[in-house]
Amino acid sequence: MAPLSVSVENQQRKETTMSAIRIGNGYDIHRLVPERPLILGGVKIPHDLGLLGHSDADVLTHAIMDAMLGALSLGDIGHYFPPSDPQWAGADSLKLLRQVNQLVHDQGWHIGNIDSVIVAERPKLKPHIVAMRDRLAEVLNLQVNQVGIKATTNEKLDATGREEGIAAYAVVLLTTAP
């Protein structure tokens, strides 16, 4: 079998192409409890239960931040905003998102697009998706069409299906192009 050889020029071109995009994924889940607000994507959603957490427990925003950090191998939000630190008690997760976005920008990267899924049995999230996309796009200085949010139930299966919590998944593509 012939040895695998790539010209120096080709190798450099490949490395340039490789460094132009990075991808990250994030996941988070928080418990649903009484007497807490339900905040998703920075939007307060009317519901009889809310998410429990040290901050405002905005599970969608947390998943997106972890995806942004993950794309640059910068660790996770627990490292930057540890639950043990009282300054993050009740924190507005959008403020944390602004800081993570600044970190990404400081490293020379920009968000290409975000795609995300919220897993919640109740309440119906469809009426709130536009508001969440608007809010996140505003905070991240993006076009709304760069922020994808989908919602699904868990078909009554497992913890999210039993309404014990709400989970969120996010994928973020970063690019070096402005």
Chain contacts with Mg ion (rule: CB under 5 A): 28, 62
Coil, strand, or helix at residue 50?
Answer: strand
The residue whose Cβ lies closest to Mg ion is: 62
In the complex, minimum distance from the CB of residue 53 to Mg ion, in angstroms, rounded to a whole number: 6
Q: Which is nearer to Mg ion, 7 or 84 (CB)?
A: 84
Q: CA–CA separation, 125 vs 120, rounded Å? A: 8
Sheet holding 110-119, edge to edge: 50-51, 21-33, 165-175, 110-119, 147-152
Rounded Cα distance between 177 and 79, Å, is 28
We find the least distance from the C-beta atom of residue 48 to Mg ion, in angstroms, to be 21
State in angstroms the smallest separation of the CB of 167 from Mg ion: 10
Based on CB atoms, which residue is closest to Mg ion, 28 or 121? Answer: 28
Nearer Cβ to Mg ion (22/62): 62
